[in-house]
Each structure stands twice: as structure tokens, then as C-alpha cells.
């Protein structure tokens, strides 16, 4: 698949069919996430792949942004102790969420290339998700990504262009 076609074709999907997702596909798309860049090559991200319907249902209960009935949810997490050890304050505060976001984008595009729909979600209760996924104390969930066979093709929202891109200097 052409990369630009994937970038422009990907949508945030919030309605899924009940078709289960092959474990091999989930392994591939999470593998793609680990090929994202990370500050200082820290690779302090952690991924929890959830496929059990009852566990997904529990996650949904504490995650208002997690909509529809996805076949899987990938929790993109960061080990903040590891991030601090490798990158000091910058690593913990800035690089960790940036790295998680870059990994998540890889995951979204890889899933799209596999014919799957996804939606990255930040609207969830961190302490509840951490408990339900049995995350160690230093591991913080950054994003939940719902993954499933899409049952909708949302329209692409218009892209803002005015004042977004500047050449050489801001305002240039």
C-alpha cells in the first residue's frame, strides 16, 4: 500500500463488526509500532494487547472515549521509570508521550494496511485502566487504540491549512 494513500485513507473508526482479529495480524501491527523512532533510542514503550471480550468490556466501562465493539484494544504504555533512567526529566516528561504517539501512529497505519479500523483514545481513567491491565506501578497507559474490522467509513474531516505551515520563520 502506498504510504500517502494510507495516511490520507486512515480514519478514526468507532463502529466495528464482530469479526475476530487474527493474533498474527495483531502481532504484526504492534511489531510495526516498535519500529517507530524513540528519543535516544530509549524504546521505553510497552504494549498490552487485549482481546478477551469481557476484559474489553471492562475497559470500555472506564474509558468513555472507547466506543463501539472492537475485536482488540492495544494499550500503548510507557515505563516512566525506564524513561527517566534513560532520558532524565526530558525522557519522562516529553519523550515518553512523544514516543508513544509515534508508535501509535505506526500501529494505526499498519492496521489500516491490514484492512482494519482503529481509533486512538485518550479519554480513559488512567488509574482504572492500570488496575484492570495489572500494570506495574511505573508503567503508565498513554493511549488506548481500538482495533477491529470497520463497520463504517467515516468522512474525512476537512484539514485546516490557513496558518498551519510556515516556511523558514513563523509567519513566513
Partner 1 sequence: MDSTALEAKVFDLIGYIASSARNLLDETPAYGPFRLVDAASRLVAILKEAGVQSPRLTALRQEIDRGKYSVTVGPDEFKAFLDALVDTFVDYLDPDESPRM
Give the shortest CB-1-to-partner 1 separation in angstroms: 25
Cα–Cα distance between 126 and 142 in angstroms, integer? 8
64 part of the interface to partner 1, by CB under 8 A: yes
Question: Can residue 25 be called a binding residue for partner 1 (CB under 8 A)?
Answer: no
Q: Compose the 102-141 pattern: x for residues touching partner 1 by CB under 8 A, - for all others.
A: ---------------------xxx--x-------------
Instruction: Give the one residue of 61, 88, 89, 153 binding partner 1; rule: CB under 8 A.
Output: 61
- Member of 11, 14, 46, 86 binding partner 1 (CB under 8 A): 14
Q: How far is the CB of 39 from partner 1 (least distance, A)?
A: 24
Q: Of the listed pieces 33-41, 44-52, 62-70, 87-95, which binds partner 1 according to CB under 8 A?
A: 62-70
Contact status: 157 vs partner 1 (CB under 8 A):
yes
The answer to whether residue 62 forms part of the interface with partner 1 (CB under 8 A) is yes
Is residue 16 at the binding interface for partner 1, with CB under 8 A as the rule? no
Q: How many residues bind partner 1 (CB under 8 A)?
A: 13
How far apart are alpha carbons 135 and 83 in whole angstroms?
16
SS3 readout for the chain: CCHHHHHHHCCECCCECCCCCCHHHHHHHHHHHCCCCCHHHCCCEEEEEECCHHHHHHHHHCCCCCCCCCCEEEEEEEEHHHHHHHHHHHHHHHHHHHHHHHHHHHHHHHHHHCCCEEEEECCCCHHHHHHHCCCCCCEEEEEEEEEECECCCCCCCCCCCCCCCCCCCCCC
The length of the chain is: 172
Report in angstroms how near the CB of residue 36 gets to partner 1 at its nearest.
25
Looking up cell 505506526 gives 106
Using the minimum distance from each CB to partner 1, give the nearer residue, 39 or 120. Answer: 120
Binding site for partner 1 (CB under 8 A): 14, 57, 60-64, 123-125, 128, 154, 157
Amino acid at each position: 500500500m502506498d504510504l500517502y494513500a494510507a495516511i490520507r485513507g486512515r480514519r478514526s473508526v468507532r463502529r466495528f463488526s464482530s469479526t475476530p482479529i487474527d493474533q498474527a495480524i495483531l502481532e504484526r501491527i504492534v511489531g510495526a509500532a516498535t519500529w517507530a523512532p524513540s528519543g535516544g533510542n530509549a524504546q521505553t514503550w510497552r504494549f498490552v494487547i487485549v482481546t478477551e471480550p469481557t476484559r474489553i468490556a471492562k475497559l470500555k466501562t472506564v474509558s468513555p472515549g472507547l466506543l463501539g465493539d472492537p475485536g482488540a484494544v492495544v494499550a500503548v504504555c510507557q515505563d516512566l521509570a525506564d524513561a527517566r533512567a534513560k532520558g532524565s526529566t526530558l525522557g519522562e516528561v516529553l519523550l515518553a508521550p512523544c514516543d508513544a504517539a509515534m508508535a501509535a501512529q505506526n500501529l494505526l497505519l499498519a492496521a489500516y494496511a491490514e484492512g482494519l479500523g482503529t481509533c486512538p483514545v485518550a479519554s480513559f481513567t488512567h488509574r482504572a485502566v492500570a488496575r484492570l491491565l495489572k500494570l506495574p506501578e511505573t508503567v503508565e497507559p498513554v493511549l488506548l487504540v481500538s482495533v477491529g474490522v470497520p463497520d463504517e467509513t467515516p468522512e474525512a474531516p476537512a484539514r485546516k491549512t490557513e496558518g498551519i505551515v510556515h516556511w523558514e520563520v513563523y509567519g513566513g
